[in-house]
Amino acid sequence: MSAAAALVSPIVTVGLLAALRPFAFQAGFLDRPGGRKAHRGDIPLLGGIAMFGGMFAGMAVMPGGDYALLPLFVASCILVGAGAIDDRFSIAAPWRFGAQIVATLLMIHAADLPLTGIGDPFGSGEIRMGRFTLIFTMLVSLTMINAYNLVDGVDGLAGSLAVVALLAVAIAAGPGHAAAAYACIAAAAVVGFLLFNFPSPWNHRVRTFMGDAGSTLLGFTIVWITLGMSQEPGRIASPVICLWFASIPIYDTLTCFVRRALKRRSPLSPGRDHFHHLLLDNGFGVRGTLAVLVGIQAVYATTALVALAAGVPDVIMFSAWAVLFVTQRAVISLIAGFRRSHVLAEEYAASD
**Is the model's pLDDT at 343 over the cut of 80?**
no
Find the mean pLDDT for residues 207-212. 96
Assign 249 a pLDDT band (cuts: 50, 70, 90).
Answer: very high
Q: Is the confidence at residue 38, as pLDDT, over 70?
A: no
Instruction: Using pLDDT thresholds of 50, 70 and 90, give the confidence band for residue 336.
Output: very high
- What pLDDT shows up at residue 34? 53
Over pLDDT 90: what percentage of the chain? Answer: 79
Average pLDDT over residues 252-279: 90
Point out the least confidently predicted range of 110-124, 151-165, 170-184, 299-313: 170-184
Q: Is the pLDDT of residue 246 over 90?
A: yes
Mean pLDDT for the stretch of residues 66-81: 87
Among candidate residues 74, 224, 83, the one with its CA nearest the CA of residue 152: 83
Does pTM surpass 0.85? Answer: yes
Instruction: Delimit the domains of the chain by residue range.
Output: 3-351
CB 218 within 8 A of CB 169: no
**Residues with Cβ < 8 Å from 102, sequence gap 6 or more?**
75, 78
User: Average of pLDDT values for 119-131?
Assistant: 95
Distance between CA atoms of 336 and 83, rounded to whole angstroms?
32
- Beta-carbon count within 10 A of 136 CB: 16
Element (H, E) at 30: strand 30-31
Q: Give the model's confidence band at 80: pLDDT under 50 very low, under 70 low, under 90 confident, else very high.
A: very high
Per-chain mean pLDDT for the chain: 92
